[in-house]
């Protein structure tokens, strides 16, 4: 059972919203575009293994994509976690650019070659092992102390990237695979770990607990890139030509550039606000972001779309939905 399906990460939606609300000559735009491309590449890498995960999916196991948990003051995110009654399985997915990725046993070092240039990168084997340790710690903290075998593998999803290892690095030879190797590793785990550790009921309870404790990440991208509020292009974006702002005329939003009329163009504006500023918003903040003057129009939009509110009159704070 796929307990947590793969979704486009919120950070990608945040960066897309930020990119569309900056002028083309903004000095931070190149870095944002670079980071966005890197995030999309990571997502496509994880998407590439979904076909093989579906082939092993059945009612006796639980599959999580991008499960993010907190232990003490640390967050960790596992690309793919598979729970069975016999063992747990972690897949760390990497969609590296370049012609070659090399795993070297000396100093736990990993290098890649891009356009003939070799550079050192973080070793994904160590990252996968760290996530395994953190998951064990999380289970212990939540009073799940029964020993459960765990296996971790690194999946290199870029089929054009050559994988090499140093001669004395058996760990990399065993634990670094292509997406096509997922099924054989699952079969290997099935034959290696045959002792039942959890009943179906216990495993279902644990899966529900993991899902309940998943923490959605919504970083402050404006703060991260040090972009002041006045740099943001505000207003409702035209769904046809992307011009901002649209104006409200008799129940419609009208684009003053191409004359497109829309009843729900403001919905993307609500999403953009959440991605850039968070879920809390006041009537005044909505009017400023949408570039409208009527507090009554703003109030109708907020009351129709908020999931909660607190305070009275002009001090009312509305909570907008977080649409993943």
pLDDT in tens, 227-266: 999 999 999 999 999 999 999 998 899 999 999 999 999 9
DSSP-assigned states of every residue in 98-114 = SSEEEEETGGGEEEEEE
Tell me, yes or no, whether 195 lies in a domain: yes
Tell me, yes or no, whether 103 lies in a domain: yes
At which residue do the structure tokens 């212990």 appear?
140
Give residue 195's domain range. Answer: 2-212
- For residues 252 and 291, the answer to whether their CB atoms sit within 8 Å is no
44 and 193 inside one domain: yes
Measured at the CA of 166, the angle between CA 46 and CA 181, to 5 degrees, comes to: 35
244 and 195 inside one domain: no
295 and 197 inside one domain: no
DSSP 308: E
Tokens (6 digits) for 55: 């082939």
CA Rg value for the chain = 24
List, for the chain, all residue ranges whose pLDDT scores fall below the cut of 50.
none
pLDDT digits (tens, 9 = 90+) for 71-90: 988 999 999 999 999 999 99
The confidence score (pLDDT) of residue 106 equals 80
User: Which one, of 289, 219, 215, lies nearest residue 21 by Cα?
Assistant: 289
178 and 240 inside one domain: no
62 and 113 inside one domain: yes
Number of domains in the chain: 2
DSSP 310: E
The confidence score (pLDDT) of residue 130 equals 96
DSSP 243: -
Mean pLDDT of the chain: 94
Look at residue 93 and give its three-state secondary structure: strand
Pairing, β 117-121 against β 109-114: antiparallel
Tell me, yes or no, whether 166 lies in a domain: yes
The confidence score (pLDDT) of residue 183 equals 95
Tell me, yes or no, whether 19 lies in a domain: yes
Sign of CA dihedral 167, 170, 174, 175: negative
Tell me, yes or no, whether 261 lies in a domain: yes
Tell me, yes or no, whether 223 lies in a domain: no
Tell me, yes or no, whether 83 lies in a domain: yes
Tell me, yes or no, whether 185 lies in a domain: yes
Final residue of a structural domain among 178, 212, 246: 212
The confidence score (pLDDT) of residue 314 equals 80
Helices (H), 113-218: 124-141, 170-175, 182-192, 200-212
103 and 136 inside one domain: yes
Strands (E), the chain: 2-4, 62-71, 74-83, 88-94, 100-104, 109-114, 117-121, 150-156, 162-165, 176-177, 247-249, 252-254, 261-262, 280-281, 308-310, 317-319
197 and 75 inside one domain: yes
């Amino acid at each position: 059972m796929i307990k947590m399906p793969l979704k486009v990460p919120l950070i990608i939606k945040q960066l897309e919203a930020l990119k569309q609300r900056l002028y083309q000559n903004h000095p931070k735009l190149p870095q944002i575009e670079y980071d966005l491309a890197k995030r999309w590449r990571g997502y496509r890498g994880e998407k590439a293994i979904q076909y093989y995960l579906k082939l092993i999916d059945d009612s006796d196991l639980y599959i999580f994509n991008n499960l993010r948990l907190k232990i003490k003051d640390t967050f960790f995110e596992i690309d793919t976690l598979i729970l069975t009654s016999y063992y747990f399985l972690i897949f760390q997915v990497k969609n590296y650019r370049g012609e070659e990725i090399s795993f070297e046993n000396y100093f736990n070092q990993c290098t890649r070659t891009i356009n003939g240039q070799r550079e050192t990168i973080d070793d994904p084997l160590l990252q996968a092992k760290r996530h395994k340790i953190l998951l064990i710690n999380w289970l212990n903290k939540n009073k799940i102390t029964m020993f459960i075998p765990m296996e971790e593998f690194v999946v290199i999803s870029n089929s054009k990237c050559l994988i090499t290892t140093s001669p004395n690095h058996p760990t990399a030879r065993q634990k670094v695979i292509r997406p096509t190797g997922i099924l054989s590793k699952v079969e290997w785990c099935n034959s290696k770990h045959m002792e039942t550790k959890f009943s179906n009921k216990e495993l279902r309870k644990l899966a529900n607990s993991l899902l309940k404790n998943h923490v959605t990440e919504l970083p402050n991208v404006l703060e991260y890139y040090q972009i002041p509020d006045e740099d943001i292009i505000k207003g409702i974006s035209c769904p046809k030509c992307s011009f901002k702002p649209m104006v409200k005329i008799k129940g419609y939003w009208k684009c003053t550039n191409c004359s497109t009329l829309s009843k729900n163009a403001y919905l993307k504006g609500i999403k953009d606000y959440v991605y850039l500023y968070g879920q809390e918003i006041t009537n005044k903040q909505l009017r400023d972001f949408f570039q409208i003057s009527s507090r009554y129009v703003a109030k109708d939009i907020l009351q129709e779309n908020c999931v909660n509110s607190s305070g009275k009159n002009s001090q009312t704070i509305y909570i907008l939905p977080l649409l993943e």
